[in-house]
Chain A
Amino acid sequence: MKASAGAKVELSGLCRSYGDNQVVDNVSLTVASGEILALLGPSGCGKTTTLRMIAGLISPSAGEIAIDGSSITALPVHRRNLGMLFQNYALFPHLTVLENVAFGLAMRGLPKAVITERARQALALTRLTGFEDRMPAALSGGQQQRVALARAIVYRPRVLLLDEPFGALDKKLREEMQIELRQLCNELGLTTILVTHDQEEALVLADQIAVMRGGRIEQVDTARAIYERPTSHFVADFIGTSNFLPAEIIGKADGCTVLRAHSGPLFRSTVANELSPGDNVAVVVRPESIRLSQGEGADSMNAVSGKVLRAVFKGQALSIWLDVNGADIVASLPIEALNDINPQPGEPWTAQWSFERTLIVREQ
């Protein structure tokens, strides 16, 4: 199969409500050609509804969907030329693997020989050669997933839509499939929109992540930027683990923001932000940004001291919880960097982090 340039997808002001319930609320997004975008969020955040509106299975209450600049909002599902992977694969149980894959091509009225040839190519691409005459019920979950993928890409769709595609697979197979899918999408240059509630899946698969909450988009950025520069409490909390210290901005100088925690200590951050003095914010620190030192040393910048609550060994890292004036601060130390550090419950320790790793988010 030839690599085809994927299409650019633009959502503008997309809304969907059921009665008084605004499920999707003014979603605007641009997915560049060949890019993989993940709609990430907890269940009920409107991510699936957004995907189904793009597919045409749900019509929007307001807003526009455009592919390569032309609106498809009014186009019926079957004329949108999209590929879609469903949560439970949704294979045609009465058709063989080859017939399943050939379905979309047959719908496009291609000659029979071409259909068979291209269906076989798609099956080869998803490593299913030899399974042509099997029935879906006789396949394992991973194989069914591949058939569904072959069926979705065989007619060179303009956009590939994935609805929680790996939910039903076990962890190891899921990770394999994620990598395979990413490679395939990149090889084919397919513009892909993925819906998931699994942050790890979004981080592994997507170039861009759109974090959704309550029908709105909270933040859109690259996986790394979302992780390293969350702009809201929700995003910082939803992706990865974060420590939150309620604080107040007291000044800005030389690209530096100075904050005072409600509990007293001062922090300095070099992370760019659009906040102004007086704003109600929280200092966010990732557990892995924290360095620990024994004893009380809270007089230096970006440091808090507390008593060790507990230490939990987690394989690659040791997690240590500190009680800092009644608030929990968790630090994650890679096992490699532990050396002789061995905090015991009850001991006083100090957590410290750099200015670059001091994130600030606005609090509601």
Chain B
Amino acid sequence: MSSGDSVRASMLSPSRRDEVSGRVTEAASHTAERAWTIFSGTRFTGYWLVAPAVLFLAIWFLWPVLTMIHLSVSARSVDGVMVEGFTLDNYIRLFSSDLYVRILLRTIRIALLTSVIAALFAYPLAIAIARGGPALARLVTITILAPLLVNVVVRSYGWQTILNKTGALAWLLKLSGVTNPPVLLYTEWAVLIACVHVYLPFMVMPLASAIGRIDRAVEEAARVAGAPQLSVMLRVIFPLSLPGLAVGVSLVFSLSAAAYVTPQILGGNFSPLLGTLIEQQILTLNDWPFGAAISTLLIAMVLAANLVFLKVVNRRFARWTGDIR
């Protein structure tokens, strides 16, 4: 209702004025109603419900990440002195040094290997959870989730006592006649073993859920049609579990690429990953811009990998459900 309307209303005859003012209150209540509809109506309810989470992430995640990216291109350290101003030096330095590239490649390698090995271990376990009896499923689930209950530092030191030169593994190998058992501690292998151990549940759980959703009749149809167990596995269960595998690989790849404590304790300085490198740059060398650049690269790498996994599988999956034709 604009002020012009009320002016015109006052110029009207009394009876007419009543009529108009009646319309004014009507319009006002209508506006309030509409405001309420926008707030509570089905179209916007969803946005209001996610708003707190979005706000939280924006303040505590998005903003710091943007600050970090900004730092990585707005300053550089020259002989320990911070020089401000736009620069790509940090990134150029990262890719021109053989050491850093090696660490980057090692990180990718370990993250990929962890994903692949975890996937290989995860399939039988996921099948046991999805297809076994309730008692077996519960037992396997608890066993797999157990490492998550132990603090990462404690767990890593646990692996250290197993993998070191005089550790349990070496002792066992010697007992079984291996004369010169390999020492795994402070090698990539130690990091890999520990990563697979702790990130296995993140592979098993989505896989078990995906396999659990496969119609048993589809498996039976394959068997009746002449498929032995292995073919059922390779041609039916594996392809139909791909959505779960993609989620699992995404999680495990991301987690192991960003792992810090485990590689620090088990890989030591002999095989550092990006996480260790970041820690050194920021806490030891005090080169925050370079640390920010490495962090940005890590985030970009993990994000890209995730997008590729999910995209590939989504497209496939959409075909099965008939979303895309």
Residues in A lying within 8 Å of B, measured CB to CB = 55-57, 76-84, 86-88, 90-94, 103-104, 107-108, 135, 137-138, 148, 151-152, 155, 161
Contacts and interface: CB of A to CB of B under 8 A. Distances in A.
Nearest to B232: A78
A107 B231 contact: yes
Contacts, number: 81
B222 A92 contact: yes
A106 B270 CA distance: 51
Contacts of A83: 224-225
Contacts of B218: 90-93
Contacts of B231: 107
Contacts of A161: 224
Contacts of A90: 215, 217-218, 220-221
Contacts of A56: 223-224
A94 B225 contact: no
Interface string B230-263: 0100011001100000000000000000000000
Interface of B: 215, 217-218, 220-228, 231, 235-236, 239-240, 316, 319-322, 325
B306 to A, nearest CB: 23
Given A88-B215, A94-B240, A155 B226 contact: yes
A180 to B, nearest CB: 20
Nearest to B228: A78
- The residue in A77, A80, A82, A148 that gathers the most chain B C-beta atoms within 10 A of its C-beta is A77
Contacts of B227: 78, 103, 107
A55 B220 CA distance: 10
Contacts of A86: 217, 220-221
A56 B226 CA distance: 12
A87 B217 contact: yes
B222 A103 contact: yes
Contacts of A84: 220-221, 224
A209 to B, nearest CB: 24
Contacts of B322: 135, 137-138
A104 B319 contact: no
Given A90-B218, A93-B240, A77 B224 contact: yes
Contacts of B224: 55-57, 77-78, 80, 82-84, 152, 161
Contacts of B228: 76, 78
A178 to B, nearest CB: 21
A57 B220 contact: yes
